[in-house]
Amino acid sequence: MLNLVLFGPPGAGKGTQSEKLIEKYKLTHISTGDLFRKHIGEGTELGKTAQKFMDNGNLVPDEIVIRMVDDKIHSNLDSSGFIFDGFPRTIAQAKALDALMQKNNTQINTMLALEVSEEELTKRILNRGKTSGRADDQDIEKIKTRVRVYNGETTPVANYYDEQGKLNTVAGVGSIGEIFNNLSNLVDTQL
Ligand code: AMP
């Protein structure tokens, strides 16, 4: 199995690059943000709970996120690998992911971290908000909260993977194709 963590702040291009990586390496996409939005769309209890946190730009509690990821891995165990997008976002989630991988006799191969300046992120998210319909993409205060939460709670996750020798950073600016080539070159070293 090839298991990747695609890491980076909101607006870094994780969704766009995930789509391309999935196609090239035939991976199963696990985007916790997308899964929550699906639950919200379907009006599930999980969706209702998650929405309260998401609407303000805060993180959904670890326990809820981890259970949802566990379920998703379980229903795709025949996959040739996973790409985790927007997960893990806390150290507790990173530890839980290691345990989930171990339970299934596999591991995270590498973390690919996209780096984009804060100014560029805000611009991109507001632009995406014009078409995404996402409340958290349209309000500058909510975007600021998301970036603050990322800097406070999520950046330590990169150190966690760095300590395991698994962190690879990639500039998230330039053309989509260029960034994808840089990511692919790193993934190829894992094959
Ligand atoms: P995203 O689409 O990845 O930007 O996620 C949108 C929102 O969903 C975030 O601002 C959080 O409220 C929530 N969310 C997504 N993934 C996670 C996660 N791994 N842990 C906690 N909250 C999450």
Residue 30's domain is classified under what CATH number?
3.40.50.300
Per-residue pLDDT at 139: 94
10 CA: nearest ligand 1 atom:
4
| CB-ligand 1 contact for 97 (6 Å cutoff) | no
Give the whole-angstrom CA distance, residue 136 versus residue 122.
12
pLDDT digits (tens, 9 = 90+) for 151-179: 999 999 999 999 999 999 999 999 999 99
pLDDT for res 24? 98
Q: Which residue's CA is the closest to the ligand 1 atom numbered 2?
A: 33
Which residue in this structure is represented by tokens 């806390």? 90
| Residue 191 domain-assigned (yes or no) | no
CA angle, 63 as apex, 61 and 66 as ends, to 5°? 110
Task: Establish whether residue 53 lines the binding site of ligand 1, counting it when its CB lies within 6 angstroms of any ligand atom.
Answer: yes
The beta-strand segments (E) located in the chain are 2-7, 28-31, 81-85, 110-115, 167-171
Tell me the residue range of the domain where 77 lies. Answer: 2-186
The model carries a pTM of 0.97
Residue 117 lies in a domain: yes
CB of 36 closer than 6 angstroms to any ligand 1 atom: yes
With a cut of 50, which residues of the chain have pLDDT below it? none
SS3 1: coil
For the chain, how many structural domains are there in total?
1
Residue 70 lies in a domain: yes
pLDDT score at 49:
98
Q: Cα–Cα distance between 171 and 184 in angstroms, integer?
A: 13
143 lines ligand 1 (CB under 6 A): no
Q: Is residue 92 a contact partner of residue 153, using CB atoms and an 8 Å limit?
A: no
8 Å CB contact between 121 and 142: no
Structural contact between residues 12 and 122, judged by C-beta atoms closer than 8 angstroms: no
**Residue 50 lies inside a defined structural domain of this protein:** yes
- What 8-state DSSP symbol labels residue 154? I
- Helix axes 45-54 and 62-74, enclosed angle (nearest 10): 130
Name the residue of 32, 48, 126 whose CB sits within 8 Å of the most ligand 1 atoms, as the mutation to test its pocket. 32
Residue 129 lies in a domain: yes
